[in-house]
Amino acid sequence: MKTNVGGIDKVLRIIAGVILIALAATGTIGLWGWIGIVPLLTGLFNFCPLYSVLGIKTCKVT
């Protein structure tokens, strides 16, 4: 797995994931809110499988 998520993209994914999970856990939104696990994990691991398929990279080249 090569890193393909970086910077602001990473931060936004983590924030969006935490918000969706919190809203689902409190019952504010339906069960679909648990999909927030996906952006949370992709942000934490700096890797997005869809980015790999599409050839997108938002991290700095090292």
Per residue in 18-32, pLDDT tens?
A: 999 999 999 999 999
Do 19 and 36 form a contact (C-beta atoms < 8 A)?
A: yes
Residue the block writes with tokens 């080249």? 61
Q: How many Å apart are CA 61 and CA 40, to the nearest integer?
A: 23
- Nearest CA-CA partner of 20 in 8, 31, 10, 11: 31
Residues 6+ apart with CB under 8 A from 57: 4, 6, 51
Q: What confidence score (pLDDT) does residue 62 get?
A: 59
How does DSSP assign 44-62, residue by residue? HHT--HHHHHHT---SPP-
Mean pLDDT of the region 35-59: 95
Total-model pTM? 0.89
